Chain A
Amino acid sequence: MKLIELDNIFKIYNEDMENEVRALNGVSLIIDKGEFVAIIGPSGSGKSTLMNIIGCLDLPTYGDYFLNGQLVSDMDDGELSKIRNREVGFIFQSFNLIPALSAYENVELPLIYQGVRGDKREEMVFEALEKLGIEDRAYHRPTEMSGGQQQRVAIARAIVTRAPIILADEPTGALDSKTGETVLEILHGLHREGTTIILITHDSRIASTAERIIRISDGVIVQDCPREEAEL
């Protein structure tokens, strides 16, 4: 079942000017429900740009993006924020936690935007924190936590809404290899539960755990195949 469908997507900065950049230069792609996809490619090739478009944080310059069969470029701000809230969970390389809020409050935020009631919210937040084994850090602020702990809070925030899609942009980039392994294990756990995972990574070992590998270079897909056939 088609979950994500990109049809000839372009993302062009400073179009028709001397400093024009084609971050995505005609990308077509279909991702089905329940897949575990790794996106690899050199720095500056357009991986993050692609992921931001998939997560509705950014809109393509040209081309159509269908999410669940709906054309994203037709949506207004309310619908887009609803998708970001309910359909996708974002995990960033730099965690992106709000420093003024505790771990608990950071994880709670998507549920608040969703309008979940207080007691239900508390239950869901603790469930997510427990899943990542950081419930004992619930009332710590991000600055009082290690990188690995912060990333786990960020993952808890991404999964707390039980979004069907998890987008992870180099989630292990800022972590040591052991912590990175744990994070990867968590993602695989979610995948086993049926979540669609899209993961950007530089690490070929991590990429090799995915079902499908997409390689990007200069804004175009140069390879898209199951793990077994991929050259890493």
Chain B
Amino acid sequence: MNIGQSFKMAFKSIFTNKVRSILTMLGIIIGVAAVIIMVSIVEGSNKQIRDYYESMGTNKINVYAYKWSGEDVTDELYEYCLSLDELVLGVTPNAYYWGGSIRYKTVSTDKMEYGGPQVYMGSDQFSLCNNFEIEIGRDISYLDVKNYNQVIVLGARLKEFLFPYRDPIGEVVTIGEYPFTVIGVYEAKDPNSTWSMDNMAVVPYTMVRLLNKTNRIEEFVVKARSKKDTTEAITRLTGFLSGLIDENSGYFSVNSQNQWMEQDEKATRIMSLVLGGIAGISLLVGGIGIMNIMLVTVKERTREIGIRKAIGGSRKSIIIQFLIESSVICAIGGILGVTVGYLGTLVAGKLIMDIVLTPSVTMTIGAVAFSVVLGIGFGMYPAIKASGLQPVEALRAE
């Protein structure tokens, strides 16, 4: 029999038993909505984690080393890092100035609401290693480093504070008692939350002698070319450093953000499995509900099935009719579930993460498709049962 007619019949019987159809769908609606909300939250937080690490720079390795004796390993380490050329995009020393405030005329960063800015001392590859982009002016250059130029690049937050609505290029700020000329400003990385990543400035690492009164740099940041190269670079650096420093003579560590990111992602993956499992069970319960109702429907419509058989309905056509009916119920339930899931995701995104979170299109289509599959799966037994009825006996039913 014609499939269009089966659909017509399915809609007819769904709409003649509205309340029952809705109750039947409820399980599917809740199940689909639950899946969508939970997966969206997990995906959303995964994305947040990824974005967070990406803004700090992926494939980034932090190398930290010093000797108890105070003996300097800076040059050897820097050279070794540079020698990892085929694995590495960039290397920068990563020293900090602990002195505190930066001053521009009468404005001092002592008064900033989120504490003093972080002043880094890095190479011309600092921005590459730490994912900063120049917004105005220029970045620190190799010559700045080599020639001990007293120049500074400001983070977006620091620029906002010191030079609100003004072009800072060429202005002179003071760190401690030393003047530095502003040559550039980085793009904001983190404008909506705390600005903490943008409350910073960078000067050439050769300033370490001037500002920290030492030549020693204990920390380097290495930017590897890929995830794979990160692992390889970590292995080599660890090997190199263990040859240079042992437990008794000092301390070193080689870490990458990737490790933390993977750990965080793993945690959310486990959460998604647990939540997905719960949602899956509720879908299963919904499916069993469908089967239950379809069995009742078959029983109630035994006589109708008998009539259909008496006038020429084959087993196949009866099976198709009931399968279409159960999958239409499930599809409608799935669509309603997606609607509820969308709203729920929006609300949950707002409440939990304070972002506009929407389910992915793939998942939405997948959820509806899955409900149809569920309808066919759980409708199969009732449909086969209906089709197997003997015409005479079915006709005798009341």
| A interface residue numbers (CB < 8 A to B) | 52, 55, 57-58, 77-78, 81-82, 84-86, 90, 92, 96-98, 100-101, 109-110, 112-115, 157, 161
Contact = CB atoms under 8 A, between A and B. Distances in A.
Interface in B33-57: none
A78 B314 contact: yes
Contacts of B16: 100
Given A58-B390, A110-B311, A113-B311, A96 B1 contact: no
B317 interface: yes
Report which residue of B312, B390, B391, B392 has the largest number of chain A beta carbons within 10 angstroms of its beta carbon. Answer: B312
A77 B308 CA distance: 13
Nearest to A82: B312
A197 B316 CA distance: 30
A190 B5 CA distance: 30
Contacts of B309: 57, 81, 84
A112 B395 contact: no
Contacts of B209: none
A41 to B, nearest CB: 18
A96 B312 contact: no
Contacts of A57: 309-310, 391-392, 395
Interface size range on B against A:
20 to 34
B307 interface: yes
A113 B392 contact: no
Given A98-B304, A100-B13, A109-B308, A81 B395 contact: no
B303 interface: yes
Nearest to A53: B392
A85 B395 contact: no
9 contacts: A52-B392, A57-B309, A84-B311, A85-B312, A100-B16, A109-B308, A109-B311, A112-B5, A113-B308
Nearest to A77: B315
Contact of B312 (A58, A84, A97, A98): A84
B3 to A, nearest CB: 11
A115 B311 contact: no
A157 B311 CA distance: 8
Given A81-B314, A86-B312, A90-B311, A112 B1 contact: yes
Given A52-B392, A58-B390, A115 B310 contact: no
A78 B312 contact: no
